[in-house]
């Protein structure tokens, strides 16, 4: 069996650590090119040494000396900063996990595609803020993108061997997050600790809060459109508190193909790692008789305004996704910093979308990396202005 060259961007995070875990179980099958992190350089150095990576990169330039110190005598090269991240992504690899959180994951993902690597895409922000650019870059360099989000991995799997022309609808499920059953009038008092605790999934803090606000599902609606080329009307969100069915695809003969599996990201990561084969994965085997019942309900637009905003973004097209993502990331920063209430985040995003939409030139700009980053910058500035107004 040939040894594959693999890299993990965002290796110190929740997705990254699960990826490292799967690679470490079969070390002879992989030659690890690059592992990257940001603040957690102890974990980065430990994993880079364990997997004998060629290079370990921290996004934080001020930590380079510390990282060098930790890697002294190991034979692993140390590097730091955004340029070093891109250089690492440009090193020839067969498979690259994109699991940096936020728009910071966009550029390394593009660099990996430009050198023809298969991109296992967890970083949903890249597809939301620059979907067309990511897809075009993949096409231009004959590179493949494999979805890692559990919902999109599920849709991808349900579509194997199927004709897209026979697809009527795609249903992505949502657990409903931490506040699914809270009385609406208490949501504005939700604390950071309460929003950071997910009923089913163990994930990074930002995506956990985004699950409570449904901004995560809103991002996934946009991702579904980009990945599978569906119209917005074909994509439905279904609240499914047990998080066992990740997505369903409905066909023109009335059949619904559902992907059922435990809420463990190692399934979607492992599927992308081993694709097109299936290999044994260390995830729970579901005992449906013990589980007994799976339940479903329609999403509530009042509780989760993010879903309506995502539909507006799909309607507007162009760079609206970049505005949405940047405003959402900034509103989340504001909530984490204690400057915004939980229920104020959606208002910030809506106001920023309207403000940038008023200057249509930004929405209509050609989708290049520079333009996306410029729109991202403008939207973040507008969002901070909104946060200051609301906090004041
Ligand atoms: P985490 O917050 O757990 O990890 C984020 C990773 O990105 C860490 O390695 C972190 O480094 C690194 N990082 C943070 N900021 C920067 C930066 N500015 N530049 C470069 N690297 C940076 O996030 P998750 O693993 O939860 O999520 C990663 C991505 O995957 C997100 O886009 C998320 O939406 C998506 N996703 C996550 C799922 C999950 O189950 N967790 C499911 C589906 C998608 P450090 O920790 O060293 O600071």
Instruction: Examine the pLDDT at 25 and tell me if it is beyond 70.
Output: yes
Using H for helix, E for strand and C for coil, what is the string for 211-278? HHHCHHHHHHHHHHHHHHCCCHHHEEEEECCCCCEEEEEEECCCCEEEEECCCCHHHHHHHHHHCCCC
Residues with CB under 6 A from ligand 1: 10-16, 37-40, 59, 99-101, 104, 122-125, 149, 201, 203-204, 206-207, 265
Residue 2: burial class (beta carbons within 10 Å; 0-12, 13-18, 19+): exposed
Q: For ligand 1, pick from 63, 98, 150, 207 the residue to mutate: most ligand atoms within 8 Å of CB.
A: 207
Task: Determine the average pLDDT of the residues in 138-150.
Answer: 98
pLDDT at 363: 74
Three-class DSSP category at 160: coil
What are 185's two structure tokens?
């009038």
Q: For 312-369, write each residue's pLDDT tens digit.
A: 999 999 999 999 999 999 999 999 999 999 999 999 999 999 998 766 777 778 899 9
- Residue range 268-307, pLDDT digits in tens: 999 999 999 999 999 999 999 999 999 999 999 999 999 9
The pairs formed by 21-30 with CB atoms below 8 angstroms and a separation of 24 or more are 21/266, 22/266, 22/269, 22/270, 22/273, 22/281, 22/282, 23/51, 23/273, 24/50, 24/51, 25/282, 27/51, 27/52, 28/3, 29/1, 29/3, 29/4, 30/3, 30/4, 30/5, 30/6
- Ligand 1: which of 62, 204, 218 to mutate, judged by most atoms within 8 Å of the beta carbon? 204
The 10s digit of each residue's pLDDT in 226-261 is 999 999 999 999 999 999 999 999 999 999 999 999
Integer-rounded Cα Rg, in Å, for the chain is 20
Q: What tokens does 220 get? A: 């996934």
Q: Is the pLDDT of residue 373 over 70?
A: yes
Nearest CA to ligand 1 atom 26: 204
Q: What is the mean pLDDT of the chain?
A: 96
Bridge-based pairing state of the strands 145-147 and 118-121: parallel
Rounded Cα distance between 217 and 298, Å, is 13
Whether 369 and 133 have beta carbons less than 8 Å apart is answered as yes
Token pair, residue 175, equals 């657990």
**Which pLDDT score, from 0 to 100, does residue 153 have?**
98
- Closest approach atom of ligand 1 to CA 219: 34
Domains defined for the chain, CATH in brackets: 4-147 (3.40.50.720), 150-299 (no CATH), 317-392 (1.10.1740.10)
Please give the Cα distance from 183 to 200 (Å, whole number).
Answer: 20
**Which 3-state string (H, E, C) describes 165-203?**
HHEEEEEEEECCCCCCCCCHHHHHHCCHHHHCCCCCCCC
How far, in Å, CA of 231 to CA of 311, rounded? 11
- Average pLDDT score over residue span 380-385: 96
């Amino acid at each position: 069996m040939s040894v594959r060259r693999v890299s993990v961007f965002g290796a110190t995070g929740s997705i990254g650590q699960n990826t490292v875990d799967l690679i470490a179980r079969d070390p002879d099958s992989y030659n690890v090119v690059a592992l990257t992190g940001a603040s957690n350089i102890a974990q980065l150095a430990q994993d880079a040494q364990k997997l004998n990576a060629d290079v370990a990169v921290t996004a934080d330039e001020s930590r380079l000396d510390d990282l060098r110190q930790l890697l002294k005598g190991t034979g692993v090269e140390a590097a730091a900063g955004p340029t070093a991240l891109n250089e690492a992504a440009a090193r020839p690899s067969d498979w690259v996990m994109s699991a940096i959180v936020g728009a910071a994951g966009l550029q390394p993902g593009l660099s990996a595609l430009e050198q023809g690597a298969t991109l296992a895409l967890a970083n949903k922000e890249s597809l939301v803020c620059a979907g067309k650019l990511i897809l075009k870059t993949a096409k231009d360099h004959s590179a493949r993108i494999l979805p890692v989000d559990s919902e999109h991995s599920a849709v991808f799997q349900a579509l194997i061997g199927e004709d897209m022309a026979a697809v009527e609808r795609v249903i992505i499920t949502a657990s409903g997050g931490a506040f699914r059953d809270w009385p609406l009038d208490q949501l504005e008092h939700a604390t950071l600790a309460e929003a950071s605790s997910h009923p089913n999934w163990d994930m990074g803090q930002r995506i956990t809060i985004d699950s409570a606000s449904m901004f995560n599902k809103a991002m996934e609606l946009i991702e579904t459109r980009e990945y599978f080329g569906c119209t917005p009307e074909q994509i439905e969100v279904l609240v499914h508190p047990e998080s066992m069915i990740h997505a369903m695809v409905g066909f023109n003969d009335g059949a619904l193909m559902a992907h059922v599996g435990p809420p463990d990201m190692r399934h979607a990561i492992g599927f992308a790692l081993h694709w097109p084969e299936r290999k044994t994965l260390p995830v729970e085997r579901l005992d449906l008789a013990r589980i007994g019942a799976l339940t479903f309900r329609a999403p509530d637009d009042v509780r989760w305004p993010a879903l309506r905003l995502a539909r507006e973004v799909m309607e507007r097209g162009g760079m609206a996704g970049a505005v949405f993502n940047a405003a959402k990331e900034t509103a989340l920063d504001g909530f984490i910093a204690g400057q915004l209430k939980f229920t104020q985040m959606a208002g910030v995003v809506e106001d920023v979308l309207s403000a940038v939409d008023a200057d249509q030139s930004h929405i209509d700009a050609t989708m290049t990396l520079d333009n996306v980053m410029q729109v991202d910058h403008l939207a973040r500035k507008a969002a901070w202005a909104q946060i200051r107004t609301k906090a004041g």
